Chains A and B, each alone.
Chain A
Amino acid sequence: MTEDWTPPLPPRRELPDAVRARLRARVLGPDHRAPSWLGSGTPLAVAAAVALLVACAAVLMPIGRTVQPGAGVSLRQEESPLDRCWAAVVAAGRTADYPPRASWRIGARFGEVAPIVVAIRTSGRPVLCETTLTAVTVSDPTAPDPGGDGAPLALLATSAGSLGGVVGSRWAAMTVRTADQAPVRPFAVVDGVWLVPTPVARARELPSAQLIGPRREASTTPPVTQDEPVSVLGPGVAVVDRPAATGQRTSPEGRFLGTCIAQSTRPVPDPLSWTAGAMTPSTGDTLVLARSGTALAECAARERDGRSTYEFRVVSPSVVHDRPVRYLRTYRCREGTWVVGVVRGVYATMTVGPPGGGTATEVPLSGGTFALRISDETGDGGPGTLPRGLRVRLLGALEGPYEGELAAS
């Protein structure tokens, strides 16, 4: 029986026209030169080219191609950012300028809640799109093609920190330098499209990029680098599609949040929409939680050598919604150590009791967030960590009481 056995193999597929066209362009395209043995004087370094090409293929997620499945692939039905991006194009009356929606496919996506930025493969030029809590920004589809060797163009550069564009397709990777001259970690160029994986502060102020490659270079020789200026182009569509109320900035928490957002070293999406929640004491090191709709963020100040630095960070949405009460972090400041967290919106009051019994204390909730001072010495993981066994009781008008332990995970 073993002689007849074959491993389970997928059926062969007909080569799609689009794939054949891409292969043809790579193999027989304009970059293809005469073989080196003909002595043409312009030898083709194909053997050298192959190595890096393949190496790149192994680490790049090609734009618009079939996904490599793995543990990180989400099969949940979610609202596609493509729909929201296209709706913005429709709302702006620019559908005639963009490739048809049916041809749009996500090539790369970064971000969980705000900003979410996607590179979109279309039947025409690539499109980049950013969605935040309140707005959508779509790149201009009529931007020029930089060509095989072309310098980078930023098609999407937003105040929320999304940054991406196009560059000559011969480059394998690149990095960008912001106005602060802080280089971003190198990231891949796929089919001439680049997208910075993390939000970039002052994204519209980009003096230069460093291109790494070229793609067709011997693997045995180090990749070459080339500095090029980055031209930043305006977006094709910018629409506020989910207007939100402006968060108040008059209370102490609101004022601190306003300062923290304004001076954050990280870009802040939808800065006006955030409303202050619970806050640790506002002297020296301070942390405030903030809500915008169902989204949650924290903004923290650290004082060093008489100078404060501020950092705003959006919290993963899975943290916010999946439990009645969720511990976020401890925060040590001059007044002691504080535990901050969030409860489901259905609860109105919260009490916390010490481990092993004792009198419970009511903890104020502000927009479903709380800040609770703990003893500096009680943490099980050392000073400043969450003590084990804190008893939480939650009450809500429309929900039965919840009792449980405030746990780190």
Chain B
Amino acid sequence: MTITDPSTRGASELDASRTADPDTSLWRRAAAGEREAFGALFERHAEALWNHCYRLTGSWALAEDITSATFLTAWAKVGGITLVRESALPWLYAVAGNIVRTENRRTARFARAVRRLPEDGTAEDHAEAVAHRVDVDRRTREVATAVARLPRAEREAVELCLLGELSTVDAATLLGIAEASVRARLSRARGRLRTLLEVTP
């Protein structure tokens, strides 16, 4: 399994979308019903979105399902959405965040109808790998939980800029607010998160 450089991975995804066939072009073609164009968007952004969904949930299993759900939502809405930036990634990140929140609200209700498989019901047969993964997943889930407790405006900024590693400019455009507002929200959110995560200054 390859671990990529966290500082560059998101950037390279964005850069790729700004080269040969920009997202805006692919998005327009997908809106016209061209499946290949939507497929190209999928291939371009699946990895970044999958990683982002993991950071939102702390679960690779949920990340996979939410990634697919996000793309299905995109396919459903591509005809009615116009990208305001060159990359579709900020919009996909925002949709994923909404799906995670919807899923969190719905879980309890659905669980009453469908029996939940026990948490110890699945495990690969390598305890060492499981132990390492448990640590990483637990840390990620703690962050995700803390982010979910932020006020909505701050949460949106954090999900896009801190978890998604988007620029404040892209986030501001997507959220329809000034870049300075995004920076202010991030500043307040950082303070709250440090408290929530009990980080010593």
Contacts and interface: CB of A to CB of B under 8 A. Distances in A.
From B61, B104, B118, B143, name the one whose CB has the most chain A CB atoms within 10 angstroms: B61
Interface in B135-153: 136-140, 143, 146-147
B72 A219 contact: no
A138 to B, nearest CB: 16
A70 interface: yes
A212 interface: yes
Interface stretch (A50-58, A147-155, A297-305, A366-374): A50-58
Contacts of B76: 35-36, 44, 46-47, 50
Contacts of B104: 58
B191 A59 contact: no
Given A10-B140, A50-B73, A197-B117, A20 B103 contact: no
B134 A73 contact: yes
Contacts, number: 259
B194 A110 contact: no
Interface string B114-133: 11111111111101001101
B39 A19 contact: no
Interface in B22-80: 31, 33, 35, 38-39, 42, 46-48, 50-51, 54-55, 59-62, 64-69, 71-73, 75-80
Nearest to B38: A28
A57 B60 contact: no
Nearest to B30: A35
B133 A55 contact: no
- The SS class assigned to the B binding surface is helix
A80 interface: yes
Interface stretch (A183-191, A243-251, A379-387): A183-191
Given A54-B103, A57-B62, A58-B106, A70 B119 contact: yes
A51 B68 contact: no
Interface residues of B, number: 84
B114 A186 contact: yes
A57 to B, nearest CB: 3
A285 B61 CA distance: 48
A293 B107 CA distance: 42
Contacts of B124: 67, 105-106
A397 interface: no
B113 interface: yes
A72 B120 contact: yes
Interface in A164-203: 172-173, 185-188, 190, 197
Contacts of A37: 79-80
B75 A27 contact: yes
A188 B127 contact: no
Contacts of B20: none
Interface string B166-201: 000000000000000000000100110110010101
Contacts of B111: 58-59
Nearest to A219: B106
Given A28-B39, A59-B107, A105-B125, A11 B78 contact: no
Contacts of A57: 61-62, 65-66, 69, 103
Contacts of A22: 64, 68
Contact of B4 (A11, A23, A24): A11
Given A1-B201, A197-B115, 5 more contacts: A37-B80, A50-B76, A59-B114, A73-B130, A76-B127
Interface of B: 1-6, 9-10, 31, 33, 35, 38-39, 42, 46-48, 50-51, 54-55, 59-62, 64-69, 71-73, 75-80, 99, 102-104, 106-107, 110-111, 113-125, 127, 130-131, 133-134, 136-140, 143, 146-147, 162-163, 187, 190-191, 193-194, 197, 199, 201
Interface of A: 1-3, 5-16, 19-20, 22-24, 26-28, 32, 34-38, 44, 46-47, 49-51, 53-77, 80, 82-83, 104-110, 172-173, 185-188, 190, 197, 212, 219, 223
17 contacts: A2-B190, A3-B187, A7-B147, A7-B193, A12-B48, A13-B4, A14-B47, A44-B75, A46-B72, A53-B68, A54-B106, A55-B107, A65-B60, A71-B119, A75-B134, A110-B118, A173-B113
